[in-house]
Structure 1
Amino acid sequence: MKIVIVNGTHEADFIIKKFKQEKHDLTVINSDRDFGTYISASNRIPVLYGDPTKAYVLEDASAYNADVFIALSTNDIDNYVACITAKQLFNAKRVVCVVRNPKRVDVFKKLGIDSVISSTYLLGESIKNESIIEDFIRTMTMENEKILITEMIVDENSVIANQKVRDAKIPDFINIGCIYRDPEVVIANGDTTIYPHDRLVIISTPQRQKQAIDFIQRKVDDNEN
């Protein structure tokens, strides 16, 4: 497939690595020159620097007839403009837009965006104290609401800190998609060691999300009680 990925930071890096492994035809555009340089070097792929909301930038990138066009900016409106431009002027077959404001999901769909992913912060019952609030548990709810992608920081006293994935006794209902370990994104496998301050991207169902969060938050002292 021809896939165009515009803007984003670590999310873009992770997606690019995954799609590159699957041998897709990738076009990458990023308005952040510094992070674009990192993505280019990390993935050995050319990156066009420019504003993807501008039609001439998409034209320079030969973004015509993409099977999938993904916009990952932190600015919802920029993502919408980039997606709708790709769809209407460059014949993108499917456009995917990330939004920070969940109220825009239905609006953007009605305005012609095929898939809208809402990124929000979870500050609900799973949060026990201020130190956890500072971890900024971030959740991306997929369009069909059957999969949740939750981002959490590993505490120094976590039961999984300094453990290999295969030895951490991670329940079957939790899947570690990747680990953000600045400046790298690590695709986890059984031999991957989880270190304190790693930012885990965990995948679960909505029904299991609270259990997944509780497991990652468990401290060594909790096991001894």
Structure 2
Amino acid sequence: MNNAHEHGGWTISEVERLTGLPRRDIQRCCYNGKGGLGIVQPQNSTWGRRTYSAREVATLFVVRLEKQQGLSLPEIGEKLRKHPATGSEAEPGLLAVHIERLKERQEEVAGQLLAARALLMASQGEEPMLAGELIENEIDAQVVEALHKMVDEEARQDGMSADCAAHRGWLARSFAPLVENADSSEASACAALALAGAIDDIHGRHNVSHVAAKKILNWAFNSPGMSVVVDVWLGPGAYELLLRTLR
């Protein structure tokens, strides 16, 4: 089969497909003469075609991402000469920078989707408990992600599993006092009770300390879109009340 592994790299047609960069831009990135950037140097393969290495494809992918940011090719060429696309572990390149930016955008879009779904439920008169199921699934995902990201190894106890399967209804049971529409005089006490129940549940299910469980829950509640879905579920002002109590 005639592929990159056999001929030692990717052809320009394959690079077009992989990077989404037009052929003309790819060619300009190769040229060293007038109008060229000279930031990649494809090699002639034994098949008689110019081929691009993985490092060069990565560079061209960064060119496309930088163009999407509004930079011209000459500006991108100058930027890449100062800060290469692929760096080292000690000094990451531009591709690593773009990965972090894309992850931030992904989180932002996920939060907007979560908020939109909750508001659609509310506008259509759906039962608040449907929003409760939505937030429970979301917090479960956030809890697992937080467990993976925890850097304080001392907060972990032996046997903790970040992939522990959640049992449905744990959050609803913890937040039952607030779901039952406690009046304002009881709201703070009910919020404290609800959060204590949730922290206990995370502690028990994932075998982490109560301190770590509180940090995880705080991280989960601060994720994008969470404020909308909490207020749809528990009522206006519930999110701010929970955050104040959690702090």
TM-score of the aligned structures, taking structure 2 as reference length: 0.21
Judging by fraction of residues, say which structure has more strand: 1
Q: Which structure would you say has the larger Rg?
A: 2
TM-score of the aligned structures, taking structure 1 as reference length: 0.23
Judging by fraction of residues, say which structure has more helix: 2
